[in-house]
Amino acid sequence: MSPSKVCLVIGAGDATGGAVARRFAREGYTACVSRRTQEKLEPLLAQIRQAGGTAHGFGSDARREDEVVALVEHIERDIGPIEVMVFNIGANSPNSILTETAQRYTKIWEMCCLAGFLTGREVAKRMVGRVTPGDPGRQGTTHKGTIIFTGASASLRGSANFAGFAGGKMALRSLAQSMARELGPMGIHVAHTIIDGAIDTHFIRSQFPERYALKDQGGIMDPEHIADAYWMLHQQPRDAWTHELDLRPYMEKF
């Protein structure tokens, strides 16, 4: 029996990342989910398994090259080929430019961008290796994999008190563009999503109750609906790939 295809979600939190893992698991993919603290993954793993899916959880720091290399190698060797990788690390943390520190700014950039580079590079190397041998120019005539980077409003514009986050997310967007141009001809679909709005999370419920009150009016993004969009991106034929997709509630200004 051939190994199951894998969807790897880096930054599988309680909202978008978890929803994406559940969505792909429902489609028959083995969900491999990662965040820095493995214990926090247990509820998500239980949800997937109770629904009949297959899931593996890993505690790993995506900013550390050795840990990323080891994670991808372990999955490819012992679980199955990574057909989809979703990079979903946030690092949305406000601070005034007047009090921002170099250490904190660097950490946010590492989480937003460096981690995306490391995971994207390692996964892409495996996907490219699965292009049919002997294909002229190794151009890849079929879809060999999908890499999706989760962006935010800060990917397009820098707001007051979000210099670190905006810098990191804009860098991630540029990384995605560069990878798409290089890897697309090799059969790898690289997409970047702009999540422009509040997501239905505990943080929004507890810290912004007036915003959360808009949920019944469709003013808060449902993580499950975001996950549906990610599945759609993976399903696209390569003659009509979307590179950048922005998602927002209908009432969000843009």
Domain containing 18 — which CATH number?
3.40.50.720
Cα 126 to Cα 73: distance, rounded to the nearest angstrom: 9
Report the domain count for the chain: 1
Would 58 be classed as within a structural domain? Answer: yes
Would 164 be classed as within a structural domain? Answer: yes
DSSP state of 219: -
Cα 73 to Cα 199: distance, rounded to the nearest angstrom: 33
Q: What pLDDT does 136 receive?
A: 44
Q: What is the pLDDT of residues 122-146, one digit of tens each?
A: 999 999 988 554 444 444 457 899 9
Would 254 be classed as within a structural domain? Answer: no
Cα 167 to Cα 237: distance, rounded to the nearest angstrom: 32
Would 195 be classed as within a structural domain? Answer: yes
DSSP state of 111: I
Q: What pLDDT does 134 receive?
A: 45
Q: What is the pLDDT of residues 59-93, one digit of tens each?
A: 999 999 999 999 999 999 999 999 999 999 988 88
Would 202 be classed as within a structural domain? Answer: yes
- The residue-averaged pLDDT of 176-180 equals 98
Residue type, 88: N
Q: At what angle do helices 16-26 and 223-235 cross, to 10 degrees?
A: 50
Would 197 be classed as within a structural domain? Answer: yes
DSSP state of 235: H
Q: Give the lowest-confidence range in 7-11, 39-43, 199-203.
A: 199-203
Would 229 be classed as within a structural domain? Answer: yes
- Closest to 113 in 3D by CA, of 69, 153, 168: 168
Domain of 105? 6-247
Would 1 be classed as within a structural domain? Answer: no
Question: How confident is the prediction for the chain on average, in pLDDT?
Answer: 92
- The residue-averaged pLDDT of 179-199 equals 95
Asked whether the predicted pLDDT for residue 2 surpasses 60, the reply is no
pTM for the full model? 0.93
